[in-house]
Amino acid sequence: MNATRAEDGPRRTGEPLRRISAAFERAGSEGRAAFVPYLTAGDPDSESTVALARCLDRAGADILELGVPFSDPIADGPVLQRAAVRALASGTTVDSVFEIARRIRRETSLALVLFTYLNPLLHYGFRRAARDARAAGFDGVLVTDLPPEEAPDYRPHLASAGLDTIFLVSPTSTLARMKAAARLSTGFLYVVSRSGITGARDALPAGLAETVRRARRCAPALPLAIGFGISTPDAAARAAALADGVVVGSALVGAAEEARRERQPAEEAVARLAGALASACRRDPGAKKLRA
């Protein structure tokens, strides 16, 4: 797919690219929530990651979260932990992630979010990481273990590089924490559907609508994307009725993992699931997204 769009033209250093906001605007104008899949970069190698990104682009994804593999992924469930182990075993580094992103940027129209823990960026050098992430084609950064209280030390480097900043809120977030996360976020606000680690679940939690209402009150002008535990088209459809974006990670990574175990093409397995999830993000024309 041709990756060139109007918002992809030359920009001055520090000026946001707007691919993320454009993706949400485009999805909203088409009566759907944005579909935001996640892949662990380098799982099990660079070529496979790029191939799956192309597959997701064709299946209808809007934004790709590309994860930096980390040896101590405290927020990740077993599926993503195994993906990180495979990626690290193949020699994936932060530099490798940036090279993978460059290829995905050239070969797809996906907006790209760097999904990472803080430690790899600190080891790489935060200012350098921000600059190199922008040069590699990333549009935003989500640091899973960077709380809003510590963000003033790091966020200026991301903003000066022209990268959107994305923060997490959860069912246990206080009103003050939600307001702080909303104030610091520019690409979208990530609403964690449940407390705990990532991983596919059979159903969304009963209190999710209230969590979204609280987040919407704190960030009335910012897109909200729901993630953690969404694994089926039914769950994606329910999340799409509540928010502007639907994030799916473990289910897609797990589908690729299982296909490889069975010696089947991972791209075909991911394409089937991604296509169903993307279709589920299309809202009933008579339904309205939940608003506070």
Under 8 Å CB-to-CB from 96, ≥6 apart: which residues? 41, 42, 46
Which spans in 219-286 are helix H? 233-240, 250-261, 266-280
Secondary structure class of 164 (helix, strand, coil): strand
- Name the residue among 8, 38, 17 with its Cα closest to residue 139: 17
Size of the chain, expressed as the number of residues it contains: 292
**CB-CB contact of 193 with 2 (8 Å):** no
Secondary structure class of 151 (helix, strand, coil): helix
Phi, psi of 246 (to 5 degrees): -125, 120
Quickly tell me which residue has 């590089």 as its tokens.
161
Q: Which two tokens stand for residue 265?
A: 């093409």
Q: Which two tokens stand for residue 183?
A: 């104030």
Secondary structure class of 242 (helix, strand, coil): coil
Rounded Cα–Cα distance for residues 274 and 18 (Å): 24
Active site residue 95: no
120 CB neighbour count, 10 Å cutoff: 17
Side-chain half-sphere exposure of 102, counting CA atoms within 13 A: 9
Active site residue 76: yes
Out of 57, 62, 65, 244, the active site residue is: 65
Out of 43, 57, 62, 76, the active site residue is: 76
**CB-CB contact of 190 with 173 (8 Å):** no
Just list the catalytic residues: 65, 76
